[in-house]
Structure 1
């Protein structure tokens, strides 16, 4: 597991531009998924980014996370994801994303969609999973706004997001957090579905390039799990994994 910061660049006014902060949910069972997700972002990004894994054990050691894991939490970052504004010091915009994403487009395109009038922005899926289990046998739950919280652009300095203190994140219900109940509906901006393209749910329309995923979300389970080796877009993920492993091998040899 690695945290990465690309080199800073110079903006149009000649000043150093601040890296775009990206927080990726980390689970030890999906270490490879995290590394491939990170690799896919860095490889295509034309802007400076900081990528930080959200590691539950580290948050516990820092006294930022202490809630007990519930039976319906399929990953270690089910709730810790909502610490993103706090981890970004409630400044600027930052992104949270699950580790089971593969980015196929430049993150700058996503950042350029940001509108300061919103507290958060996300893909507003209307999604009801057909499967009863996902990943490596975790229970598949159904609830309103499912998957909205799997990739979120947070306006960390927005007054409404100041409520997301460690105390609130550790005690509030899943409904309050995953459905963004600290916000009014008009404070939630919408992002095109191709930035959180749900494998097995969203479809590419032949001849319509606007429907091709910019980020594939293997929400049911990805090729790093034996049961999902043949899922849709598995070939793209496996190709990215091979690139990542070859690069990591070269680094290790040097």
Structure 2
């Protein structure tokens, strides 16, 4: 029997319901077994893997921990990282099917220039090159260049170095279709169907001020199903 697909999800204690919905929506649409792991900072700190000081400027608790994925995966095989504020409509197996060994990482290469000054629950909305590229990453964990992404490097390097993929050359970064990281409020809704994965990067329906965003009702319906079924991960 083949190994399950590996998905690591950024976890923020302020957004537990977002993580629950993200996980459930992935599993609901997956045609293959998926091992879903939340990146919880207390656990990573207890294991001695994550030692960075608390980042008061970071908008989430997983601003940096996402780059530990190749190390957590043993620098072997392929793994996906996504932020917790995703609602999946597509089959994550189809995303893994796009894995191309030529690349160290594959991402949706957005040209995202947010107009808002704040997002989510009042966090500053920063603009920087390659913004939101790192919010969903298909990692080739065994790629030689990713083997330099050790916990020591992740704990030491700057946000610019990590989020701009400066440990890689440009030709080592592959491109994914927009639908795999569809930025709510930035991309137009498709005329038919849904994106494979909606990313509520400005803020989602679990925040009071974001009740009317695109695909809000679909998110609420999924959250209600999670609660009704008593699912807790």
C-alpha separation between the residues in 2 aligned to 1:98 and 1:69? 19
Q: TM-score, normalised by structure 1?
A: 0.89
The equivalent residue for 1:152 is 137
Distance 1:83 1:17 in 2: 24
Task: Give the equivalent residue in structure 2 for 1:13.
Answer: none
Query: Which sits farther off after the overlay, 21-30 or 104-113?
Result: 104-113
Q: Is the 8 A contact 1:72 1:141 kept in 2?
A: no
Which residue of 231, 242, 247 maps to 2:229? 247
How far off its partner does 1:113 sit? 1.0
Tell me, in whole angstroms, the C-alpha distance in 1 between the residues paired with 2:122 and 2:39. 23
2:125 paired with 1:136: no
Structure 1 residue matching 2:230: 3-state secondary structure: helix
Residue correspondence of structure 1 range 84-103 to structure 2 within 5 A: 84-103=69-88
**Match of 2:94, SS?**
helix
1:200 maps to what in 2? 185
Q: Distance in 1 between matches of 2:226 and 2:116?
A: 30
**In the alignment, what sits opposite 1:175?**
160
TM-score, scaled to structure 2: 0.97
Pick the aligned partner of 1:231 from 207, 213, 226.
213
> After the TM superposition, which segments of 4 or more aligned residues of structure 1 sit over 3 Å from their partners?
none
Size of the aligned set, in residue pairs, is 232
**Aligned counterparts of 1:86 and 1:67: Cα–Cα separation in 2:** 16
Establish whether residue 110 from structure 1 lines up as the match of residue 92 from structure 2.
no
1:244 CA displacement: 1.0
Unpaired runs of 5+ in structure 1? Answer: 1-15
Q: Which has the higher contact order (CA 8 A, sep 6+)?
A: 2
Q: Does 1:213 align with 2:182?
A: no
Q: Give the structure with higher Rg (CA).
A: 1
- What root-mean-square deviation, in Å, do the aligned CA atoms of Structure 1 and Structure 2 show? 1.2
In the alignment, does 2:2 pair up with 1:17? yes
